[in-house]
Amino acid sequence: MRIEVVEHPLVKHILTRLRDAETEPAQFRALARQLTLLLAVEATRDLPLREHPVQTPLEPTTGHSLAQPIVAVPILRAGLGMLEAITELFTDVRVGYIGLERDERTAVARAYYCKLPPIGASRVLLLDPMLATGGSAAQAIEVLINAGARDIVHVCVVAAPEGVQRLNKQFPQVRIVAASLDLGLNDRKFIVPGLGDFGDRLYGTGAR
């Protein structure tokens, strides 16, 4: 099973607070942003660099710039909770959106919106906090590949083995970066132990 779980103490600390059912939406949003920053560093650690001269206040030296553009694509709506951290970290990032809605009875996602920038040779960060069955991620990856994406990293908060195995089999070229590989799915196809419905907790739309 190919998945990169970020084993950083701060990742574990923030994830625990996200899991806590008592965490209120405002704090949940702040924690999601902090965690995404850490995940984004891991998801981009292999980006190529180009050298160029730079003048410091003291003398010339050699500097480095990112040599590959970044495209961030959140899956609506929960993926929006991860977007601000990416746009803060990568100021030149281009942003696309894919709208998928999961049927709670069948766990099958329905597409309702798609808007993508030119992708070309960009590193595409697919943002979706919960990799459960892998159905939504697989649909989104298919859309990205059809749009020309060849370098895709799926960035998520928690993942279930079922979803990871599906993506590994269907899209072996796609990297998965997560804060945790959880135990699995329950009979409602929710990740356990998980952290509940990420979108509801992000925006305070779930039952209290």
Estimate the crossing angle of helix 25-43 against helix 9-19, to 10 degrees: 150
> Which residue is associated with the tokens 């998965």?
176
Active site residue 106: yes
Decide: 120 and 68 in contact? Cβ < 8 Å: no
Active site residue 102: yes
Q: Are strands 152-159 and 191-192 parallel, antiparallel or unpaired?
A: unpaired
Q: Could you tell me the two tokens for 204?
A: 């305070």
Decide: 69 and 54 in contact? Cβ < 8 Å: no
Please give the Cα distance from 147 to 170 (Å, whole number). 17
Active site residue 20: no
* From 2, 20, 46, 106, active-site residue: 106
Q: Could you tell me the two tokens for 208?
A: 């209290």
* From 102, 166, 175, 201, active-site residue: 102
Active site residue 91: no
Please give the Cα distance from 73 to 64 (Å, whole number). 26
CA distances from residue 148 to 47, 81, 98, 144 in whole angstroms, order as listed: 19, 25, 15, 6
CA distances from residue 206 to 24, 80, 154, 162, 198 in whole angstroms, order as listed: 11, 17, 26, 25, 10
Active site residues: 102, 106, 197, 200
